Structure 1
Amino acid sequence: MKKKIAVLLTILMMFALISGCGSKSTSSSNKKVKILFSISNATDAYRSLLVANAKSYADSENVELTVKDAAGSIEEQVSHMKEAVSGGYNVVICTPVNSATTLQLKKEAGELPIIFMNSAPSEDLLERDKYIYVSSDEMVAGKIQAEYVADYLSNKKDIKVVLFRGEKGHSATIGRTKAVKETFKEKGINAEYVFEDTANWSRQGAKEMFNVFLATSQKFDCVIANNDEMALGVIDSLKENKIDPSSVPVLGIDATSEATKAIADGSMRLTVYQSAKDQSKSAVQSAIELGSGGTIAKIENATEDGKHVWVPFEKVDKSNVSKYMS
């Protein structure tokens, strides 16, 4: 009898031990990922949308996400990387103040994976499932703008273009501007850039610069801006100078709330929707995967090389603007 009891106790102890090991394994697999999001400038209209949508999606997934605003300071952003290491974070999401600092940011972040957004690092600094870039292909946006102008002015092979560029050196500025010019050439259009300058994504800056341009009385066929804020600044200038904005195509990118209203009332002809919501969602999904030692392979729109997640751009004009209005 005593022998039977001893055997039973041994079996029960083994079962308890196995159960205990199982519980520990489950707890470990559900480890909560801590994400630090270093935003280059939270006052920027589009980047503020990236933050808001990232926080919303992280909350829905019960993931801790802390936002730090570098406010345009490279030094402050470097300190965010150090804080991510010392603060026990698992992964960083970063919109670089200057993409030229990527190597320094990687160094300060130690072994932490980094999901870059909004401004593309040099391709050779990306690494499969560790240093990746989540955004939309900027060349596509510029191509959509140029194709619209080419169709709208289909009877003209020589056109006069006003072109407002975004922040100097920014990947979006470079890609969008390059695509506009290349698309016109591909279509056999001789585009003369009667005014081309950098307005740093600013509505007020573009307005003031366009006021100066209008004072020269030069003719122009269209205005292409690298983002909606600058396009809206042009529209403000046209209105102040008693020129009907609907009389000339003004084009932007981002499909912000103000821009979609301008599309609806006819003062802006076209914008290109860049989904802050989908970019933020993809960035947080990537952070969860990489922060827990996983891969981005199963994330929608991830590339085979494991270095990019491309969120598609979408053309927005009066025919479909209602679905983009908030």
Structure 2
Amino acid sequence: MKKKIAIILTVIMMLAIFSGCGLKGSVSSNKKVKILFSLSDGSDNFRKLLAKYAENYAKSQNVELTVMDAAGSIEKQVSNMKEAVTSGYSAIICAPVNIDTALQLEKTAEGIPIVFLNSNPKDSLLEKNKYVYVGSDEKVAGQYQAEYIASYLKSKNDVKVVLLKGEKGHPATKGRTEAAKQTLKEKGINAEYVFEDNANWSRQTAKDMFNVFLSTGKKFDCVIANNDEMALGVVDSLRENNIDPSSIPILGVDATSVGKQAVVDGSMKLTIYQPAEGQSKSAVQAAIEIGSGGSLSNIKNVADNGKYIWVPFEKVDSSNVNKYMN
């Protein structure tokens, strides 16, 4: 009888052990990931799209994601990092107000993994499966613009260029501008930059600047803008001054809805599709992985060093714009 009782007790203990292991494994594998998305400036059209697509994808994955708008304030963005710590977030997606604050943001987050989005920190501040970057290679956008100009104005060796740039010091401004200039040079074009300034991604600022430029009477052959909003500011200025914008190659970046429509009506010749949806989806995927202790190895377009996820740019002109219309 004693032997029978001992056997029964042993079986009960083994069942308890295995049940406990199974329960532990279940809880671990279904760990709830909670993501805070700190957006640099919610008034910017492209950044609005980043937030919208991130929310949509997180919802489709049953993942909690909260968007906080730093509204262009470094102090607000630092406060977002503190909120992530005190409220128990698993991971942060951060479109930085100022990329030079990346180290400060990491320290304020106190070890919470950060997926930087759309503005690229220094490589030394990134760490595999901890601090990573999702975006598109800015140099490619500038390269595509210059290649288009070289083809469109192929009969000209000397080209007078208007170049409107984004925020001073912004990685996209630097990457797109330098690549455009370098590619024009490589194509054998002698580019004279008859007007070059920072319009800070703003349609109104670009319009005002271009109105002043037109008043000088200087000749120009093309307009290269670091984004669609500035390109559209030039379109607005030309129309106000009774100049047909379709007579000049005006190029932008982002393929926003208004940018694509401008390509359809001919007032812009080219925009570069920066896939906001693809960037946001990859950012959320990365945040889910590193926020739950996983790795980026199975995510599409991840770099060999595990620090970057590159989402490719695509050219959009009259030949294929309908494919990108919603």
TM-score range (shorter-chain normalised) is over 0.9
TM-score by length of 1: 0.97
1:30 aligns with 2:43: no
CA deviation after TM superposition for structure 1 residue 120, in Å: 1.1
Is the partner of 2:315 in helix, strand or coil?
Answer: strand
Matched, 1:318 2:308: no
Distance in structure 1 (CA, Å) of the matches to 2:259 and 2:108: 38
For each residue in 1:191-213, what CA deviation from the matched residue of structure 2 results, as whole angstroms up to 9, or x when unmatched? Answer: 00000011110011111111111
Distance 2:122 2:28 in 1: 36
Q: CA deviation at 1:317?
A: 0.2
- Equivalenced residues, count: 326
SS of equivalent residue, structure 1 residue 11: helix
Give 3-state SS (helix, strand or coil) of 1:224's partner: strand
Say whether residues 1:223 and 2:220 are aligned partners: no
Matched to 1:63, the amino acid is V
| Partner in structure 2 of residue 189 of structure 1 | 189
C-alpha deviation, 1:306, in angstroms: 0.8
Name stretches of at least 5 consecutive residues in structure 2 with no aligned partner: none
Report how far residue 13 of structure 1 moved.
4.2
Task: Name the residue aligned to 1:288.
Answer: 288
State the Cα deviation string for residues 73-128 of structure 1 (Å, max 9, x = none). Answer: 11111111111111111111101110011111111111111111111111211111
Gaps of 5+ in 1: none
Partner of 1:128: 128
Distance 1:18 1:130 in 2: 33
In structure 2, the partner of 1:212 is 212
Whole-Å separation in 1 of the counterparts to 2:216 and 2:236 = 18
- 1:145 corresponds in structure 2 to 145
Deviation by residue 1:223-261 (Cα, 9 ceiling, x = unmatched): 010000001111111111111111010000000000111
Q: Deviations over 1:263-313 (max 9, x none)?
A: 011111000000000000000000011101111111100001011000000
Give secondary structure in 2 for the equivalent of 1:293: coil
Find the aligned partners of 1:241 and 1:35 in 2 and give their Cα distance: 48
* 3-state secondary structure, aligned to 1:102: helix
- 1:278 partner SS: helix
Aligned-residue offset at 1:16: 3.7
State the partner residue of 1:301: 301
Q: Aligned to 2:305, what secondary structure does the other structure show?
A: coil
Amino acid at match of 1:196: E
Q: Which residue of 2 aligns with 1:257?
A: 257
Name the TM-score, length of structure 2 as normaliser: 0.97
Aligned residue for 1:197, secondary structure, equals strand
Identical-pair percentage: 67
Query: What SS class does the counterpart of residue 294 from structure 1 fall into?
Result: coil
- Structure 1: distance between partners of 2:99 and 2:78: 12
Cα deviation for residue 6 of structure 1 reads: 5.1
Question: 3-state DSSP class of the match of 2:128?
Answer: coil
Give the deviation of 1:20 after TM superposition.
3.0
Task: State the secondary structure of the residue aligned to 1:38.
Answer: strand
